[in-house]
Chain A
C-alpha cells in the first residue's frame, strides 16, 4: 500500500521526463503535468525553499541515507512516525565506502538529512571532510564509552559487530584442536584450512587485516607482515569477498574444504536462525582472539533543513525499541547496553572480551599503503 503512490509517480515522471527531453509537447496539458510531478517526487529537504518546512497538517519527511545492509522492521519506523509525526524516507547506497564518498561529493547540497552506517574504518575521512553537524544525544548515556570514538559527537554509535574467524565445528572433532590465537594459524597443523577476504575489495577482509596490524604492530621482531608471510606459507586462501569465501570455500556453508573463515561473531546465530531444520546448537563457532570491532555510526548531515527532526531520529535510533530490533535484522549488536539480545545471540555466540582496535585516523592515513603492502606479500 505504502508504495503505490511512489510507483504511480514514477510512471508519471518517466512520461514527463521523456516529454522534457523530447522538447516537444504534443498536447497543451503536458507541461503542467510535468511541473507538478517533478516537484512532488524530487523536492528534497535541502531544496524545499518554496514549501513550508514544518506545518502541523503536513508531517515532516526526513531522508535517511544508509548502506544496502541496513534493515529494520517495518513497524519500528512506523512507531517513530506515529510518536513524532516525522516520516522517514530511506535512501540506499551500495556500501559504507560508496555512501560516504557520495556524501562527500554532495556536501554543498546534501541528498539526505541523516546518514547511518559509517564505520570506524571510514570515520576519520568523514570527520575531516566536515559532512556532519555535532549532536550529543541523551541516549548516549546507555552506550559504553569504548564505542564512543568521537568525543565531539559529530557521529553517534548505533551498533557494533566483531569480525572474527569462524570455524566449522564438524571439522574439529578429531585430534586437531580449534585454534585459539592468531599465531596458531601459522602452525602447520592448520595448513590450507583458512580462507580470508581481500582487504582491497571486502569490508571484513580489511577489518581482519587491521586486526593483525593491531595485534602484531608495524615494528619489532615479528610484525604483521611477518605474520602474513607465515600465513601465506601455511596456505591461506584469499577470496575477493565474504560471499565467495563463505559460500565457496568454508566447509560449514558450502562444498568447500576450508574449516576456517573470516566472518562475523554473529554468523553462528544467523546459521541457526536461517536454518531450514530447527537446530539446538550452531554448526559454526567463533574464535575470539584477533577479532576486529566494527562500530557503525549515524550522523546528522550538515546543511539539513530539519535539524530537530534529524536529532529526534538519532535519539530514536538509540532507543530500546530500535536497538532491540537491530540484531535479528542486521546481525550486529546494539550499542545501547540496556537493549536485550534475542536468545539466539546469547546462546550461540561469544563476544570477544578484548577485540582489537585501531585509531580511525591511523587507519585513514595508512589504509592504501597497508593494502598495497599486504597485496605484495600475498601475491608471491
Chain B
C-alpha cells in the first residue's frame, strides 16, 4: 500500500514491527545469546574447542548423525502414512469431518510423557508386539505426533486444488496412478515441502520421545544437550551442541523459505466446498472407510488405552481416579484439580501474548517482501528449534536485571507463548496473503480510505485467523512440558507437570492417567473451537 499514510497508520506500522522484535529479542534472542556466550566465550574470545570436542567424541558424533537420520526417516514416513488421510479430508464430505479433524490434532499437543507411557503399554514387552528398544518405536511415535501437520497442511492445500486439471489428464487417457504422479503430486509439492519441513523440524529436536522410547542406543542432539547440561554440567559442550542444532534448524528453514519463494506459482484454486464430494460409489466409500478406519485405529488406540486405564479400578470400571483428583495429594502440594485451574489460567495468558505478538509478526511477513521479511520468518520459527533446557537456563542468566523476572510466574506463559507464536504466524500469514489485492483496489476506487479498506476487507478475515491462532496457542500452552520444567517456578503446577509428578511415584498412576485424560479432553475442546472459526482451509496447520 503506497498511499500517503497518515500518522496513525505509520505509528501502527511501527508497532507491528517493534512489538515482535522486542518480545522475541528480549525473551528469546537475548537469553539464548547470554547462555551461549557464557559457555563459549573465554576472556572475551570465542572458544572453539568445545566444537572440536563434539566432533572428536564418538557418542556426540553419533547423536548428530542419528538426529539427521531419524528426522529424515520420520518426515518421509509421516508424509507417506498421512497422505491418504489428507486426500480423504480434502476431497470428500462426510459426517463428523470437523470433529475428526480436531481429534487428529489432539496427539500433536499432548505431552510426551503421557503418550510415551501409552506407547510402552501398546508396543512394549506386554503389548501387541514388543518394539521397545528399536528405532521403529521412535518412528511410529513421531508419525503419531506429527500426523496432523501433514493432514492439515497438505489436506488444506489439496482441498482448494482445482480438480479439473486431474480430470483433463484422465480424459487424455492417463491412469489414476499416472495422473497422481505426474499432475497431482507436482502441484502438491509446495504443501508437501511445507509439511515435510515442519515435521523435520519437530523430529530434529525430538526429546521426550527419544528419552522414553529410545532406550540406550538412541540419542538426539537435544537429548545430549540435556545430558551434558544436567548430568555432567558441561555447559561449553552443551552450548556447542545447541549451536550445531540451531545451525541445522536455520538451514532447514532457510532452504524451505527459498524453495517456497521460487515455487510461488499462481495455481487455479477453487473453494473447498465445490471440490469435495460425498462418497457415493462403492469405490469412494471403500477409500473413505479404509482410510478413516486406519487413521482412527492408529491415532485412537494409544489415546483409548490412556482413557481405559484411567477408568480401571480394582472393582471393574469406575470414576474413582477422577474423584480422587479433588483431594489434596502430597505429590503436588495441592489437589490435582488446582493444576487444571493453573493450566487454564496460564493458557489464557499465553494466548494473549502469543496472539498479540504473533499477529503483528504475521503482518510483517505477509505484507512485506524481500530478504528481511524472509529472515524474520525464519527467526519466528527458531524457538521451536531451540532446546528447552537452553532456553530455561538462558532465562536464568539473562532475566535478572533490570527487572528480576527469573522466578516470576509470568515466565511460564511467556515460555509457552514462545512455542505458540510460530503457530499463530503460520496460521495467519496465508490468510493475510490471500486477501485479494483486487478487492482492496476496488474498495479504494469506490472511495474508501485505506483505514476503512483494512477495516472492512482485511480485518474480518484476519480476525478469524487470529481466533484460530488463539485456539492453537491455548492448546499448545496446555500441553507444554519441556520449557516449563526447566524454569524455576513458584508452586503452581501445570497439568503436564502434575501428570509427570504423579507418574513419578508408586500408587498414583491412576490419578496421573485421569489427569492426562482431562488434559486430552481440554485440548480436544480448544482444537474443536478452532474449527468453528477456521477460514476455509487456509493456514499451515
A: residues with CB less than 8 A from B are 3, 6-7, 10-11, 13-14, 17-18, 21-24, 38, 41-44, 46-47, 63, 65, 68-74, 89-95, 97-99, 101-102, 104-106, 109, 111-112, 125, 198, 200-201, 237-238, 240-244, 246-249, 253-258, 263, 267, 270-271, 273-277, 328-331, 367-368, 371-372, 375, 378-379
Contact = CB atoms under 8 A, between A and B. Distances in A.
A249 B408 contact: no
Contacts of B23: 21
Contact of B407 (A18, A23, A111, A253): A111
B19 A243 contact: no
Nearest to B226: A201
B62 to A, nearest CB: 11
B406 interface: yes
Interface in B381-419: 389, 393, 396-397, 400-401, 403-410, 413-414
A91 B393 CA distance: 15
Nearest to B412: A10
B501 interface: yes
Q: What are the 9 closest A-B residue pairs judged by CB atoms, nearest first?
A: A274-B507, A329-B330, A71-B330, A90-B491, A270-B506, A97-B230, A248-B120, A255-B126, A94-B485
Contacts of A97: 230-231
Given A14-B352, A23-B19, A267-B506, 19 more contacts: A17-B353, A18-B352, A21-B22, A41-B408, A44-B407, A71-B330, A73-B330, A91-B407, A101-B229, A102-B393, A105-B396, A105-B397, A247-B117, A248-B124, A249-B124, A256-B124, A367-B231, A368-B234, A375-B216
Contacts of B73: none
Contacts of A246: 506
B313 interface: yes
A344 to B, nearest CB: 11
B211 A240 contact: yes
A68 B497 contact: yes
Contacts of A105: 38, 393, 396-397
Contacts of B413: 14
A75 to B, nearest CB: 11
Interface in B7-34: 11, 15, 18-19, 22-23, 26
B333 A101 contact: no
A201 B211 contact: yes
A43 B353 contact: no
B330 A92 contact: no
B397 A23 contact: no
A27 to B, nearest CB: 15
A352 to B, nearest CB: 18
B212 interface: yes
Given A7-B345, A41-B410, A72-B333, A91 B488 contact: yes
Given A200-B231, A276-B320, A243 B15 contact: no
A256 B400 CA distance: 47
B507 A270 contact: yes
12 contacts: A69-B504, A91-B491, A97-B230, A101-B393, A102-B393, A104-B233, A240-B211, A244-B116, A248-B124, A256-B124, A276-B314, A368-B234
B409 A43 contact: no
Contacts of A367: 231-232
A266 to B, nearest CB: 9
Contact of B404 (A7, A21, A42): A42
Nearest to B346: A10
Interface residues on B, range: 35 or more
Contact of B212 (A65, A92, A241): A241
Given A92-B491, A375-B216, A378-B216, A201 B506 contact: no
B379 interface: no
A238 B215 contact: yes
B490 A257 contact: no
B404 A44 contact: yes
Nearest to B116: A244
B356 interface: yes
Interface in B244-272: none
B535 interface: no
B360 to A, nearest CB: 9
B180 interface: no
B505 interface: yes
A14 B353 contact: yes
Given A68-B497, A73-B330, A102-B396, A198 B212 contact: no
B101 interface: no
Nearest to B413: A14
Contacts of A3: 492
Contacts of B464: none
Contacts of A71: 330-333
Interface string B197-236: 0000000000000011111110000000001011111100
A22 B506 contact: no
Contacts of A258: 125
Contact of B488 (A42, A46, A74, A93): A93
B126 A257 contact: yes
Nearest to A89: B490
Nearest to A368: B232
B507 A111 contact: no
Interface string B410-454: 100110000000000000000000000000000000000000000
Contacts of B241: none
A270 B397 contact: no
A243 B502 CA distance: 10
Nearest to A325: B330
Interface in B75-124: 113, 116-117, 120-121, 124
Contacts of B213: 240
A247 B393 contact: no
A92 B397 contact: no
B35 to A, nearest CB: 8
B63 to A, nearest CB: 12
B486 interface: yes
Contact of B490 (A91, A198, A372): A91
Given A92-B488, A102-B488, A238-B215, A13 B408 contact: yes
A379 B410 CA distance: 43
A240 B138 CA distance: 14
A46 B406 CA distance: 12
B131 interface: no
B403 A42 contact: yes
B508 interface: yes
B336 to A, nearest CB: 13
B488 A274 contact: no
A263 B52 CA distance: 39
Contact of B117 (A13, A43, A244, A378): A244
